[in-house]
A and B are shown apart, each in its own frame.
Chain A
Amino acid sequence: GAVVSQHPSRVICKSGTSVKIECRSLDFQATTMFWYRQFPKQSLMLMATSNEGSKATYEQGVEKDKFLINHASLTLSTLTVTSAHPEDSSFYICSATDRDRGIYGYTFGSGTRLTVV
């Protein structure tokens, strides 16, 4: 079945530094990638949607200059948290699909726990 590999699973960084999270589709072409964030005791919230080769579309309230999304290839999308602050500490998870499967084929990564100290 379709697999999305997400790395790192956990990262601790100092305030002010940047952190990059990668999601790779291992056996399909991820034409669309979604990035979610989950704060404690809350549901997964969509941050942005990216289509391969296009600029990401960000949800209201998500700063595009802070959360840089790159989806330059059909198998790799990255989320970079720039100038991280403690309030960015959260769980980040990606989900990908392709044109053939559409809504029937959302495949998730296993998530990244970011802690900013």
Chain B
Amino acid sequence: ILNVEQSPQSLHVQEGDSTNFTCSFPSSNFYALHWYRWETAKSPEALFVMTLNGDEKKKGRISATLNTKEGYSYLYIKGSQPEDSATYLCALNNAGNMLTFGGGTRLMVKP
């Protein structure tokens, strides 16, 4: 069983703060790392799929980096807004199609 860990489990920030969370995973047999944004009662929304060591991806105020050799990925949110409040999931592809998820980081942004 793969161990995909996310930290912190939850985070409260003020509007305008920048924040980041971590996803750590086994570095062996790495294929891809996914980040999702999941709001309550909605479908998880794909943010990034990252495959190469050193990958950096950006989508508006959200960006992510990947280190496959040491087995971690960071997700950054610049200037958090209340609408960024959600659970952020990372998931590892290491073989075939299946994803192994971390436990998520629940972000709450206060106005």
Contacts and interface: CB of A to CB of B under 8 A. Distances in A.
B98 A49 contact: yes
Interface size on B, as a range, is 20 to 34
B75 interface: no
Interface stretch (A12-20, A62-70, A76-84, A107-115): A107-115
Given A43-B4, A44-B89, A107 B101 contact: no
Interface magnitude class on chain A: 20 to 34
A81 B47 CA distance: 31
Contacts, number: 49
Interface in A70-117: 93, 95, 97, 102-104, 106-111
Interface of B: 4, 31-32, 34, 36, 41-44, 46, 49, 89, 91, 93, 97-104
Given A107-B43, A108-B43, 5 more contacts: A6-B43, A41-B103, A43-B104, A108-B36, A110-B42
Interface of A: 4, 6, 9, 32, 34, 36, 41-46, 49, 93, 95, 97, 102-104, 106-111
